[in-house]
Each structure stands twice: as C-alpha cells, then as structure tokens.
C-alpha cells in the first residue's frame, strides 16, 4: 500500500501489474470489511464534466475513510474566469491533500500534476478513465474468482473507457477485444502499449467485426456511442454503431457464463437493450457500487492511512 503513497494516478500505466493487483486486493478487503482503514485528509474534486457515479463514489469513499471533501465546481472558481491552470494547481496544492480532476483535455490533467506536489487523480479525461477500470476489474474478479485468462470484449466507440480497458486487462492477464467501426478506433499508441504488456501471452485485439469479438467472451462491455462533448454527433452515430449493440443475440453468442458490464449512464435500446441491462447476466449495479470501493483503496494507497 505504501508503494503508491504520494504518487499521481493519471493512467493505469502509472502502475505496474503487481501494484494494480495489490490495489484490487485492497479494494476487495475494504469492501468485505476484512480491514478498516482511516485517512483523515482533504480531497478536492475539480470536475469540468458532469458526474454522478464518480462524484458521489469519491465523496462517500473519502467520508468513510474519515476524511473531508471539497467540491470545486469550476464555474464558481477562478478557473472559469481564465486563471492559468498552473496557478490554480499551485494554490490548491497548499490547501488540499489530494485532488481528483475530471476534464476534457488530458494535457490539462498533466499540467495540474506537474505544478502540484500532492497526488493528482484522473477522474476522467477524453483520453483515459482509469478509475472506472479499477471498478470493472474488481467486478470481474468477484464474478469469476480470478482475472487471469478471462476474456473481455468491448463493443462501441473506441473512447477513454476502451483505452483504459486495454491497459487494465493486459496488466492483469486478461484477454481484451475491442470491436468498433474503422473511424472510431481506440488510441493506437495505447493499443500498442497493451500489446507490449501482454507480450503475446494474452489477446489484445481491435476489430471491426463484433462476431470476432464475442466468440467465447466471458465479459461483454459497452458504453454510450457519443461521450460528453460529442452530443451533437449522437444522432448521426446511431446507424454507424447499430451493428455493435449489446443485445440478446450478442449475449447468446458469448460464453455460457457471460456477464454484461456498462460504465453508465446508459442509453437503453441504443448501445445496450433494456432486456440485457435488466437481465440475469447484467452486473452493472455491482460494477457501479465498486467505484466506491476501488476509489477508497486508491485514496488510502496514495495518501497512506492514519
């Protein structure tokens, strides 16, 4: 746990495989009540994008650790009036113990990390969503009793979630397949990094064919077809992505013990059918709960416990 103390968490690539597995183990222990840790610190949330799960899960996690949370809405801070990010970072660094940022440009997150000495957490950027994948991996581990060798297939936009899934799955020894239209691929630099991590021992596949991705898959995963900031494209994307919908037919083509995940919010009967998200294979609500447990483990690991 002390290995991560004082470090930033901007990407899953900031961890090595052993550190990621230890973090997931800590999350499982905190969730089960096997251990009870305290961390009397102050967490700042600087969110430029709307949030339900990330905001509430971080807040509750910090409160349960015995800490406090300050919600730094950019609209009521000087950031909205054009204060330089590096100036804001250097000031918040003197008030807070840790800062979680949810923003558009990944480079803005990196600017904060460069100018602040406190740990900075990526609570979502357009490039990556590492905190979500911590919860996803914890959920898969709970459902299958292991991560190594499990096959996860993602269907839809090659977005920040897809990027972080590639890294996270490769790091824990899972097979990962991304099925997406040709013009909506994940970040190819991240794809290559995931392949390097997997080192040929596990699958890292990007394909346009959902049937290639679904064969024998134990985890089917999807996300909205238009992320925050892409709302104007939403209607035009529907016919492009329709072929990638997670529906009853796709579920039947997967492994017999398949589970279904969605990072939420969901547009029902677009990227996932109502029947599937409410069906017996759905682990979406456990997945959402696990945001809190995974982030609690992350907070106490970056801060240390009292």
List for the chain the helix, strand, coil content (%; round to 5).
50, 15, 35
Q: How far, in Å, CA of 98 to CA of 35, rounded?
A: 22
Assess whether 64 carries a catalytic annotation: no
The active-site residue, picked from 8, 53, 97, 102, is: 102
Q: Which segments of 150-258 are extended strands (E)?
A: 151-155, 175-179, 204-207, 219-222
Cis before residue 210, ω within 30 degrees of 0?
no
Q: Which of 8, 39, 97, 129 is catalytic?
A: 129
From the candidates 131, 143, 169, 263, which is the catalytic residue? 263
Kindly name the residue from 127, 202, 262, 291 that is annotated as catalytic: 291
Residue 97: active-site member: no
Active site residue 93: no
Q: Is 81 designated active site?
A: no
Whether 268 sits among the annotated catalytic residues: the reply is no
CA atoms in the 13 A half-sphere facing the CB of 269: 1
Pick the catalytic residue from 97, 136, 157, 223. Answer: 223
Respond yes or no: is residue 132 known to be catalytic: yes
Q: Which stretch of DSSP H or E encloses residue 259?
A: strand 259-262
Residues known to be catalytic: 102, 129, 132, 223, 263, 291
């Amino acid at each position: 746990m002390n290995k991560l103390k004082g470090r930033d968490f901007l990407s899953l690539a900031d961890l090595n495989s052993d550190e990621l597995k230890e973090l997931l183990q800590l999350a499982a222990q905190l969730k089960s009540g096997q251990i009870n840790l305290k961390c009397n610190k102050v967490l700042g949330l600087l969110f430029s994008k709307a949030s339900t799960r990330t905001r509430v899960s971080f807040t509750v996690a910090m409160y349960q650790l015995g800490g406090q949370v300050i919600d730094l809405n950019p609209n009521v801070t000087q950031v909205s009036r054009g204060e330089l990010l590096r100036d804001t970072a250097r000031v918040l660094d003197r008030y807070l113990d840790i800062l979680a940022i949810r923003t558009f440009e990944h480079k803005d997150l990196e600017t904060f990390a460069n100018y602040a000495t406190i740990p900075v957490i990526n609570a979502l950027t357009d490039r990556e969503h590492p905190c979500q994948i911590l919860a996803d991996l914890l959920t898969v581990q709970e459902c299958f009793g292991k991560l190594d060798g499990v096959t996860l297939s993602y269907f839809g936009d090659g977005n920040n979630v897809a990027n972080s899934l590639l890294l996270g799955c490769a790091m824990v020894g899972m097979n990962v397949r991304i099925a997406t239209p040709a013009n909506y691929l994940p970040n190819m630099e991240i794809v290559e990094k995931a392949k390097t991590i997997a080192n040929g021992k596990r699958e890292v596949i990007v394909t346009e064919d959902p049937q290639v991705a679904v064969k024998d898959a134990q985890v089917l995963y999807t996300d909205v077809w238009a992320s925050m900031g892409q709302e104007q494209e939403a209607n035009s994307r529907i016919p492009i992505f329709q072929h990638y919908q997670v529906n009853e037919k796709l579920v039947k083509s997967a492994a017999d013990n398949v589970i279904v995940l969605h990072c939420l919010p969901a547009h029902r009967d677009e990227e996932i059918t109502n029947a599937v998200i409410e069906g017996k294979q759905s682990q979406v609500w456990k997945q959402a709960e696990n945001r809190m447990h995974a982030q609690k483990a992350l907070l106490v690991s970056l801060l240390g416990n009292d």
